[in-house]
Amino acid sequence: MSHVFHRLPKQTLPVAVSGDGIELIDAAGKRYIDACGGAAVSCLGHGHPRVVAALTRQAQQLAYAHTSFFTTQVAEELADWLSARAPQGLDHVYFVSGGSEAVEAALKLARQYFVERGETSRRHIIARRQSYHGNTLGALAIGGNAWRREPFLPLLIEAHHVSPCYAYREQRADETEEAFAQRLADELEQKILQLGPETVAAFVAETVVGATAGAVPPVREYFKKIRAVCDRYGVLLILDEVMSGMGRTGYLFACTEDGIAPDLLTIAKGLGGGYQPIGATLVNDRIYRTIVDGSGFFQHGHTYIGHATACAAALEVQHVIEEDRLLDNVRARGEQLRTLLRERHASHPHVGDIRGRGLFIGVELVADRETKQAFEPGLKLHARIKREAMAHGLMVYPMGGTIDGVHGDHVLLAPPFICSESDIERIVERFDRAL
Ligand code: PMP
């Protein structure tokens, strides 16, 4: 009887014992192609010798120094590296240990920024119905999944939700992308006006939606219009790139492709590539200065912020990606993967949509392609595909959810950035069999 309190206590999971490039190997010696990087985490695959060496060096030199006593060279270097490449103005890096913590930090920074300015009524957070921002109580409060929130009501934050930018289901047949984006920006504006702009602190969105619906990218112009609405009412824009950031879409920061910079940006998963738990909240100078010149104290902190081995792993992961020009590969292999999936499934009766950016690709499954009618939630089709894929030696990330009464089964493919052309072919072949 296992003493680990597993998240899925009723399932018997295989025991992972080692990793080798894009594959994981279990105790029985079976190999699985990691076509989802766990949950879009393992961007460099497993056992990368340079990262292992960097981790070892750092552990030997210094593993941990508490941030109320010291900073470390490696944390400073990683922060420099990130801020030199971040969207304009995001010069300050607040390290944490994962995605939920990064979101908590962003929410509290937004609130504290207004408190420091004497605007204490700005406490509402607006998010989108199709979203996942983490499982801690603050992040959970803003996430779109009602069923995740319900057991824990009432939550700490008063969050409000608007429509997602979900073209496959929400863009009307007679509507251009531009008109669709405008309609969504108008909806956000109406929500701000309804709440009263003087009560709204921030709007939060995933740049490309990940864990709730399988890599849903925004339509062009969406974020430009959203940015304009936020600016009009002094509302901060928080982009959550915990899943879609750090090169996953073929750009280091996904929002670069949308031509905007948020006020706060969260990253995690691909930052450390799974070699160490690490996340960060990137903060613009205006927010940073307000807090530094105000109380001079950010009321948020964790024991492991800026952990030295975590920073060393992340720095080396990012150096490898840059030096090996892996983002070029992400774009090329992503294109190959989407094209192959579309060719294979052009007439598949249950593949409704194939979408995404870079190596961040979602497949939406439907009972009826014409009407886009979803499968019955009770079928848990996404979970069955995960099981089938595992049987065929393939890891894909499944998700099922309901937005405004419409259920959907989605599968996320997010293979490591080091995938070759033939790796992508093997992934598609196994995915086909599972499907
Ligand atoms: N935000 C997004 C967009 C995520 O996808 C996730 C994790 N799936 C989180 C936040 C939470 O990250 P973590 O699981 O590391 O706490």
Q: What is the DSSP string of 37-106?
A: HHHHT-TT-B--HHHHHHHHHHHHH-S---TTT---HHHHHHHHHHHHHSSTT--EEEEESSHHHHHHHH
- Nearest atom in ligand 1 to the alpha carbon of residue 266 is 1
Q: Mean pLDDT over residues 386-397, rounded?
A: 97
Bridge partners (DSSP) of residue 403 are 406
Report the pocket of ligand 1 as residue ranges, CB < 6 Å: 39, 98-100, 103, 132-134, 206, 210-211, 240, 242-243, 268
**What rounded mean pLDDT belongs to the chain?**
96
* Closest residue to atom 15 of ligand 1, CA basis: 99
Give the whole-number percent of the chain exceeding pLDDT 90: 90
Query: Is the pLDDT assigned to residue 336 strictly greater than 90?
Result: yes
Centroid of ligand 1 to alpha carbon of 290 (angstroms): 27
Torsion, Cα 57 63 68 69, to 10 degrees, reads: -70
**Tens of pLDDT, residues 42-62:** 999 999 999 999 999 999 999
Q: Mean pLDDT over residues 305-314, rounded?
A: 97
Give the whole-number percent of the chain exceeding pLDDT 70: 100
Per-residue buried b or exposed e for 386-422, using 16+ beta carbons within 10 Å of the residue's own CB: bebbbeebbbbbbbbbebeeebbbbbbbbbbbbbeee
Which DSSP symbol is given to 216? Answer: B
Centroid of ligand 1 to alpha carbon of 267 (angstroms): 9
Do the strands 236-240 and 200-206 form a parallel or antiparallel pair, or are they unpaired?
A: parallel
pLDDT value at residue 12: 86
Q: Distance between CA 265 and CA 91 in Å, rounded? A: 11
To test ligand 1's pocket by mutation, which of 242, 271, 399 has the most ligand atoms within 8 angstroms of CB?
Answer: 242
Work out the pLDDT band at 271, boundaries 50, 70, 90: very high
Among residues 143, 125, 264, the alpha carbon closest in space to that of 191 is found at 125
Bridge partners (DSSP) of residue 34 are 395
| Residues 149, 141 contacting (CB under 8 angstroms) | yes
Backbone angles phi, psi at 122, to 5 degrees: -80, 85
Query: Is the pLDDT assigned to residue 2 strictly greater than 80?
Result: no
Run of H or E including 402: strand 397-403
Query: Is the pLDDT assigned to residue 406 strictly greater than 90?
Result: no
137: left (phi over 0), alpha (psi -120 to 50) or beta: alpha
Query: Is the pLDDT assigned to residue 1 strictly greater than 70?
Result: no
Range of weakest confidence among 38-42, 45-49, 209-213, 340-344: 209-213
Centroid of ligand 1 to alpha carbon of 134 (angstroms): 5
- Nearest atom in ligand 1 to the alpha carbon of residue 279 is 15
Centroid of ligand 1 to alpha carbon of 211 (angstroms): 8
To test ligand 1's pocket by mutation, which of 42, 100, 241 has the most ligand atoms within 8 angstroms of CB?
Answer: 100
- Nearest atom in ligand 1 to the alpha carbon of residue 210 is 5
pTM: 0.98
Among residues 421, 417, 423, the alpha carbon closest in space to that of 43 is found at 417
Q: Mean pLDDT over residues 313-327, rounded?
A: 98
Within a 13 Å sphere around the CA of 241, how many CA atoms are in the beta-carbon half? 30
pLDDT value at residue 297: 92
**Tens of pLDDT, residues 174-205:** 999 999 999 999 999 999 999 999 999 999 99
| pLDDT higher at 196 or 300 | 196
- For residue 193, give the amino acid letter: L
pLDDT value at residue 402: 84
